[in-house]
């Protein structure tokens, strides 16, 4: 039987999305499992393998899987390892031979792995808003801030496989927040979904400004978005602050690689009606004149689940 299908897996801080993909980029079957219910990577990988076997049976794809592609935080394309991933409960201060362990669980099906944002960039370049682009930067705004840099049609990996950690460049130089990576002032600490929630909690403590957020015990970025949609002035200011910081950093990224576009993807990108204007204003105010109003800011045109699944699955066709 021809091995004409692949699997794409997007490993996130809270959930992991898996899908079976054919050569035309159609996701034939997919599922989601929790990533945050264990601190043991072996337990997680066993749960992942169980979920994969379930959708393989559901799709009638036994014996047809050519390979598995994985996008994961701190995923190393060269070695197939996940290394020191602070946003994964089972990642932490260790190097996990993830590709080998998953392949062993899947009876030897080959596995290729890369950074989750790189996988999303490949998916967007192949199927989405970056189709036909040779130079762009993918920014994923989720539990953390990931990035995939594409130059001349190729993902930039660097000499060690970890190039493009733009979420851990410094956004606030003095008295910056402590990031999950251990550094202070990282972009991720401000412009991720968790960063937005953190801003909300800090501002509620620092001001007496009325806000519907005050009635909530545990604030999420979605709560801030819902409040902004209701016209909550503090919530709108939080997005303006977040957008300004992100726009200032995007200006730096533009001056590094002169992309045709910045593509935003992930849960926080759904708040685009409150983020777009402050991002663009800050980006164009802080970039050199030769790039001002020249670089497009676009949002992913793919379903959030499909982009990373399709991008990760593209790795598997090369196996």
What is the residue whose two structure tokens read 């164009």?
A: 284
Distances (CA, A) of 157 to 37, 137, 138, 147, 161: 30, 13, 14, 11, 5
Examine the domain organization and report whether 165 and 186 are in the same domain: yes
Output the six-digit token pair for 248: 């200032």
pTM above 0.95, yes or no: no
Q: Rounded CA gap, 204 and 216, in Å?
A: 11
Examine the domain organization and report whether 209 and 250 are in the same domain: yes
Examine the domain organization and report whether 154 and 219 are in the same domain: yes
Whole-angstrom distance between the N-terminal and C-terminal Cα of the chain?
17
Residues 231-279 have pLDDT tens digits of: 999 999 999 999 999 999 999 999 999 999 999 998 899 999 999 999 9
Q: Which domain holds residue 98?
A: 5-122+305-316
Q: Rounded CA gap, 73 and 162, in Å?
A: 10
127 domain residue, yes or no = no
40 domain residue, yes or no = yes
Residues 199-244 have pLDDT tens digits of: 999 999 999 999 999 999 899 999 999 999 999 999 999 999 999 9
Examine the domain organization and report whether 140 and 248 are in the same domain: yes
What is the residue whose two structure tokens read 């993807």?
A: 265
pLDDT at 305: 63
Count of structural domains within the chain: 2
Q: Rounded CA gap, 297 and 200, in Å?
A: 25
Examine the domain organization and report whether 82 and 222 are in the same domain: no
Which CATH number covers residue 178?
3.30.420.40
Examine the domain organization and report whether 68 and 171 are in the same domain: no
What is the DSSP track for 169-228? SBS--SSPPBPTTS-BSBTHHHHSHHHHHHHHHHHHHH-----GGGG-SS--HHHHHHHH
Examine the domain organization and report whether 113 and 153 are in the same domain: no
Examine the domain organization and report whether 152 and 236 are in the same domain: yes
Long-range contacts of 33-39 (CB under 8 A, 24+ apart): 35/11, 35/88, 35/89, 36/89, 38/89, 38/90, 39/89, 39/90, 39/92
pLDDT at 143: 84
Examine the domain organization and report whether 14 and 95 are in the same domain: yes
Residues 96-149 have pLDDT tens digits of: 999 999 999 999 999 999 988 898 888 888 888 999 999 999 999 988 899 999
pLDDT at 302: 81
Residues 5-57 have pLDDT tens digits of: 999 999 988 899 999 999 888 999 999 999 999 999 999 999 999 999 999 99
> Using an 8 Å Cβ cutoff, are 63 and 30 in contact?
no
Q: At 167, is the pLDDT very low, low, confident or very high (cuts 50, 70, 90)?
A: very high
> Using an 8 Å Cβ cutoff, are 241 and 171 in contact?
no
Examine the domain organization and report whether 98 and 142 are in the same domain: no
Percentage with pLDDT > 90 across the chain: 80
Residue 306 pLDDT > 80, yes or no? no
Q: What's the full length of the chain, in residues?
A: 319
What is the residue whose two structure tokens read 């709560």?
A: 223
Q: At 303, is the pLDDT very low, low, confident or very high (cuts 50, 70, 90)?
A: confident
């Amino acid at each position: 039987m021809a091995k004409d299908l692949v699997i794409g897996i997007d490993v996130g801080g809270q959930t992991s999305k898996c899908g079976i993909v054919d050569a035309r980029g159609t996701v034939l079957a997919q599922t989601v499992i929790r990533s945050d219910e264990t601190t043991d990577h072996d337990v997680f990988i066993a749960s992942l393998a169980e979920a994969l076997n379930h959708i393989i049976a559901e799709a009638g794809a036994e014996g047809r899987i050519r390979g598995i592609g994985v996008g994961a935080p701190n995923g190393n394309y060269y070695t197939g390892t996940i290394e020191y991933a602070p946003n994964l409960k089972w990642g932490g201060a260790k190097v996990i031979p993830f590709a080998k362990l998953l392949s062993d669980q899947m009876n030897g099906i080959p596995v290729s792995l890369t950074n989750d944002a790189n996988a999303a960039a490949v998916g967007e370049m192949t199927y989405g808003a970056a189709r036909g682009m040779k130079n762009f930067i993918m920014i994923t705004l989720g539990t953390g801030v990931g990035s995939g840099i594409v130059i001349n049609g190729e993902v930039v990996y660097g000499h060690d496989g970890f190039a493009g950690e733009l979420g851990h460049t410094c956004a606030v130089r003095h008295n910056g927040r402590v990031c999950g990576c251990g550094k202070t002032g990282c972009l991720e600490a401000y412009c991720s979904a968790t960063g937005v929630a953190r801003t909300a909690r800090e501002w509620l403590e620092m001001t007496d400004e009325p806000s519907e957020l005050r009635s909530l015990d545990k604030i999420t970025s979605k709560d801030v978005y819902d409040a902004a949609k209701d016209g909550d002035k503090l919530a709108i200011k939080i997005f303006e602050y977040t957008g300004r910081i992100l726009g200032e950093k995007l200006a730096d990224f533009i001056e590094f690689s002169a992309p045709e576009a910045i593509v935003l993807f992930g849960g926080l990108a759904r708040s685009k009606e409150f983020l777009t204007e402050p991002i663009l204003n800050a980006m164009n105010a802080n970039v050199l004149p030769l790039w001002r109003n020249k670089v497009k800011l676009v949002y992913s045109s793919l379903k959030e689940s499909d982009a990373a699944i399709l991008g990760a699955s593209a790795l598997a066709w090369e196996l």
